[in-house]
Amino acid sequence: MTTEFSFLQRQADRLLPQNPLFRLLAINGVIGFGVSMLAFGGLLVSNAAGLRDLIANAEDPVVPLVLLAFGLLITLGSAVMGTAIMSLSSDDDTGSGRRDRIEGELIPIRVHATVRRPLPRD
């Protein structure tokens, strides 16, 4: 079992980038690709809103298939990669969730507003 794991680890080290950020993006990009193809297959199998019938009756069904797959790949792949980036914590993160307070004095400003008459109802 350990020899299989070490073989897979060597293959992953050979194929994936060495930079940790690019490695994170590559792994999550592949996951996003899988999620998008799963959604693509699910849409076609379920025939949601008659989509499969529309594609099957199209003059050239390859074009809508490619457009749908590409749109899902860009959207869901970017969402998965963005989620991975957003879940990273910075080194100086305290975890409080609050931003630094800006020191200064608040100055009130007077704003004049005109009263608008309501529209007559019929």
How far is 38 from 76, CA to CA, in rounded Å? Answer: 11
Contact 29, 81 (CB under 8 A): yes
Enumerate the domain spans of the chain.
23-86
User: Residue 10: which pLDDT band, with cuts at 50, 70 and 90?
Assistant: confident
pLDDT value of residue 89 = 78
Per-residue pLDDT at 28: 95
As a whole number of angstroms, the distance between CA 72 and CA 33 comes to 9
pLDDT at 19: 82
Continuous H helices in the chain: 2-15, 20-46, 51-56, 62-86
At 93 the pLDDT is 56
**Per-residue pLDDT, 91:** 66
Tell me what pLDDT residue 1 has. Answer: 56
